[in-house]
Amino acid sequence: MPYIIKNEATGFALDSNTDMQVYTGNPNGGAFQKWILQDAGNGFYLIQDEGTSFVLDSNADKQVYTGNSNGGAFQHWQLQDAGNGFWVIQDEATGFVLDSNADKQAYTGSPNGGAFQRWQFVGTGF
């Protein structure tokens, strides 16, 4: 089932495009804002964009983007319950968590407990 992944602080949805860029935007119900969780084992998930079929990826420079699935730890994400229906999404390779800002940028950063690092998975009803 695809999910819209909404940021607690901004209400923006995680979004991407065919150029493998990741950002946030106003929820629009489009396929680029729908994400599918795939079990990667050991408590980690691949987070695949429905519109592009690319998976959420990151690097040590705190950049977030999408790419072809390669089985690497930079594409493995652990969901940590932050309470009240929100989750922290942590990268296996770096330990950084998915973060965003009011300028609609998405990146990773050191965990700080803030609302910009908490995400809600909203089912799209499919």
HEC secondary structure over 60-78: CCCEEEEECCCCCHHHCEE
pLDDT in tens, the chain (126 residues): 899 999 999 999 999 999 999 999 999 999 999 999 999 999 999 999 999 999 999 999 999 999 999 999 999 999 999 999 999 999 999 999 999 999 999 999 999 999 999 999 999 754
Are the beta carbons of 53 and 66 closer than 8 angstroms? no
Instruction: Note the pLDDT of residue 125.
Output: 58
Looking up tokens 């009240």 gives 84
Q: Please give the Cα distance from 61 to 94 (Å, whole number).
A: 9
Name the pTM for this structure: 0.96
Are the beta carbons of 48 and 16 closer than 8 angstroms? no
For residue 10, give the amino acid letter. T
Instruction: Note the pLDDT of residue 102.
Output: 98
The structural domains of the chain, ordered by start, are: 3-123 (2.80.10.50)
- Enter the tokens of residue 17: 């495009």
Look at residues 115, 34, 117, 46 and name the one whose alpha carbon lies nearest to residue 78. 46
Instruction: Note the pLDDT of residue 23.
Output: 98
